[in-house]
Amino acid sequence: MTAPRPFRIIPAIDIIDGKCVRLTQGDYAQKKVYNEDPLAVARMFEDSGLRHLHLVDLDGAKARRVVNAKVLETIAQHTSLTIDFGGGIRTDADIDTALAAGATQVNVGSAAVNDRTLFLHWLAKYGPERIILSADVRGEHVAVSGWLEGTAVNVFDLIADHRAHGLLYVVCTDIGRDGLLQGSSVALYERLMQRFPALRLIASGGVTDIAELHLLRDLGVDGAIIGKALYEHRIGLDGLAAFGTGG
């Protein structure tokens, strides 16, 4: 019998103007700067025993091109964290830039919705281990361009389409819960795992406490991204180390 996959704890760093920030419900007007040195934050995560990092170029998401590659490069060079990077990925060159700067995986959101042919090209060119579908949702409908634009695309249909072409990893963020510290979309994740049991699903948005992480792990999701709960000290880094950092 195959052993269950380790559940990955993935702290988040969101970047605007080179600084570590958090938004509330994806609203750029609701920005709070937590630290002006993203490397210091990444090192704090690493020193606490965490192994992974979700790095988001919010400037890039808005500009529709990678803006903060230098921040990625600095963190990759000065920590041993396994980094997935997103924000502004629109071309092969953007992906090449992110991977050359030290990302292990790249998150693709808007292009997966707006240009199916291009996304399938990336799955084939870079492989499903490198490409993460970043599905940001309100209800079950996907939003794009850094959460600024809603679409009529259903997240279940989007995943089903790309799964047929080898998609393996999905980060699903409920924008309506993100940054509110009111819990994540457990019911949505449960339905996604029932529909796609082999999917490497990463929960994101609203994670509030350690008990919720246990619940998400029991659903069979691959991991959870944690942002504001860490920065607001609702979840302590010592508690995450005791929970287990995943593989």
Measured distance CA(59)–CA(63) in Å, rounded: 6
What CATH class does 8-243 carry? Answer: alpha beta
Tokens of 122: 């990336």
* C-alpha torsion angle, residues 193, 7, 119, 160 (rounded to 10): -10
pLDDT digits (tens, 9 = 90+) for 15-26: 999 988 877 666
Highest mean pLDDT among 74-83, 111-120, 211-220 belongs to 74-83
pLDDT digits (tens, 9 = 90+) for 190-200: 999 999 999 99
Measured distance CA(231)–CA(238) in Å, rounded: 14
pLDDT given at position 228: 85
By DSSP bridging, strand 223-226 and strand 200-204 are parallel
pLDDT given at position 141: 85
Q: Which of 57, 59, 94, 136 is catalytic?
A: 136
Measured distance CA(43)–CA(192) in Å, rounded: 33
pLDDT digits (tens, 9 = 90+) for 224-243: 999 888 988 889 998 887 66
Active site residue 136: yes
pLDDT given at position 139: 79
Residue 139 backbone dihedrals phi, psi, to 5 degrees: 70, -115
Active site residue 27: no
Q: Which of 14, 59, 174, 222 is catalytic?
A: 14
Instruction: Answer whether residue 69 shows pLDDT above 50.
Output: yes
Instruction: Print burial letters for 165-182: b (CB count within 10 Å at least 16), e (below 16).
Output: eebbbbbbbbbebbbebe
